[in-house]
Amino acid sequence: MAAGDCDLTTVSIAAIAGEAPIGDPTRCDPLTGLGDRRRFEELVAGSNVTERVPDLTLVLVDLDRFRQVNDTLGSGAGDELLVFAAERIRQCAGAHELLRIGGDEFAVLCLDGVGTRPDELAERLVEVLSRPFLVAGQQVDVGAHIGIAAGEVADDLLRHAELALGDAKQGTVGTVRTFDMAMEERAQARRGLEVRLRRALALRQLSLHYQPQVRPDGSLVGFEALLRWRNDVDGEVPPTVFIPVAEEIGEIHAIGAWVIRHACVEAAGWPGHLRVAVNVSPIQFERSGLARIVDDALAASGLDPSRLEIEITENAILDHAEETGRTLAQLQERGVGIALDDFGTGYSSLSQLADFPFTTIKIDQSFVQAPPSERTRSLVDAILYLGRRLGMETIAEGVETEQQAQDLIEAGCDELQGYLFARPMPAEDVSAFIVEQTRQQRAGHGGDR
Ligand code: C2E
Ligand code: MG
Ligand code: MG
């Protein structure tokens, strides 16, 4: 069968549900020839299916790194990958009904007692999808995450399988999870968090803490602004928990704009040689207008643009390369600094360092805190070398011990940040910190910390 043909052979569920096979091309994914989401909904959500097919198990397959293939090798390669992946899944699925229900999401509907057992099928799928693919003349490693749900209530089937898939995605590639009620409870808790987060800004529950960044001699360069959220229900919620939620529900735009403005206003009250570094989420680059938000914040605060540094992670570039590039160029024109955060942890491409106007590379704390070894030292040396050659400053984050600081300084790192110097502190403590730190510097105790 050619890749574009519509496959009418796998209609087991449809047959049992008394439905016509996929004859309607509007319910068929033209790329893979599989039934599409509408077809899936017809099969599963219809109550007649619930009555007639009580023991249905849904195996949801999500390809890992599909988007990266699409973005780096082009959409033609992405399409090719989907066709090949569909074919591998089809071979494993056997008599079960296979559909493509999202960009890189496939659904296998298994009837109890028919064909391969769903858990065995899932393991097999993980195995075949972990084998390399050859697309656009290149070998790519993809892999998959899988969520499984068995259902008597058809309406819950997809939701449960998606919850299980979401859980699987928290794990490494190849993780398979079967739905259980704890997932439902977590999902409910999460919805509660979403509701509270939507109101957090209006309720003034968000605040910024500031963590110092220092030179090897202990003198202050500036502070990184770090978001904090405390509410009556959850207490203190770490940004690593609520930022992803804010990104998902779109609140990150309002929150992010508030952070930039608030940090600029705060920094404008510090001595003029100190800068403020502000984290910006990849999602904020999706919409144009970030440069204007920065302009407004600079105008409202009177902060010199050179005293602001925007921190972005590698994912921002990967996800929205064009928009990000444009925005970064606009920021560069204004003289705003741009730091590449968590360097070495994302899908780093060295060309990104050359293509985008970074002023600073932030060495991720995983390198800083790794047990000393020749390998980590070499990696850190290589990053520092790159920074020097490209005229970028280097700063190491997560410095906790004197030894780590010494090693980094000896290796030539320009700046350091971490608990060794100070934990992130509320805005009201910053002035006292600056005064004390300046006093120590004057007294020549900078190196003693
Ligand atoms: P990040 O930008 O890489 O920030 C550094 C994180 O490391 C901060 O965690 C900081 O408190 C922590 N840290 C600093 N020194 C040390 C150390 O010596 N040891 C250890 N173990 N940790 C150290 P935090 O504040 O929990 O923030 C976590 C992440 O949340 C940040 O990572 C950043 O990605 C994100 N984030 C925080 N504030 C914002 C924000 O305003 N906007 C956006 N988009 N993301 C933010
Ligand atoms: Mg940061
Ligand atoms: Mg970081």
Q: What is the DSSP letter of 103?
A: T
Neighbours of ion ligand 2 (CB under 5 A): 279, 311, 341
Q: How far is the CA of 365 from the centre of ligand 3 (A)?
A: 7
pLDDT score of 305: 98
CA-proximal residue: ligand 1, atom 37 (nearest):
226
Check whether 110 has a pLDDT greater than 60: yes
Which residue has its alpha carbon closest to ligand 1 atom 3? 342
Residue 115 · residue 10 · CB < 8 Å: no
**Phi, psi torsion values for 263, nearest 5 degrees:** -65, -40
Separation of CA 309 from chain center: 21
Residue type, 437: Q
- Alpha-carbon span 438 to 315, nearest angstrom: 37
Identify the residue whose tokens are 């004197």: 402
For the CA atoms of 190, 193, 195, 201, the dihedral, rounded to the nearest 10 degrees, stands at: -150
User: Ligand 1, residues 229, 261, 279: which to mutate, most atoms within 8 A of Cβ?
Assistant: 279
What pLDDT score does 13 carry?
54
* Atom of ligand 1 lying closest to residue 247 CA: 44
Average pLDDT, the chain: 89
Cβ atoms of residues 194 and 231 within 8 Å: no
Q: Whose CA is nearest to atom 2 of ligand 1?
A: 279
| Protein residues near ligand 3, an ion, with CB under 5 A | 341-342, 397
Nearest to 72 by CA among 354, 358, 355, 349: 349
Task: Show Cβ contacts of residue 249 under 8 Å, excluding neighbours closer than 6 positions.
Answer: 194, 197, 198
Instruction: Kindly report which listed range (79-83, 266-270, 343-347, 400-404) carries the lowest average pLDDT score.
Output: 343-347
Handedness of CA 144, 147, 148, 154 (dihedral sign): negative
Neighbours of 244 (CB within 10 A): 13
Asked if 107 contacts 23 with a C-beta cutoff of 8 angstroms, the reply is no
| Atom nearest to 256 CA in ligand 1 | 42
**In which band, very low, low, confident or very high, does the pLDDT at 406 lie, cut at 50, 70 and 90?**
very high
pTM: 0.79
Residue with tokens 């509320």: 426
448 confidence band (pLDDT: 50, 70, 90): very low
The per-residue pLDDT for 50 is 46
Is 157's pLDDT higher than 80? yes
Q: Residues with beta carbon inside 6 Å of ligand 1? A: 211, 226-227, 238-240, 243, 259, 279-281, 311, 341-342, 365, 397-400, 418-419, 424
Give the mean pLDDT of 330-353: 87
How many angstroms is it from 341 CA to the middle of ligand 2? 5
Nearest atom in ligand 1 to the alpha carbon of residue 238 is 26
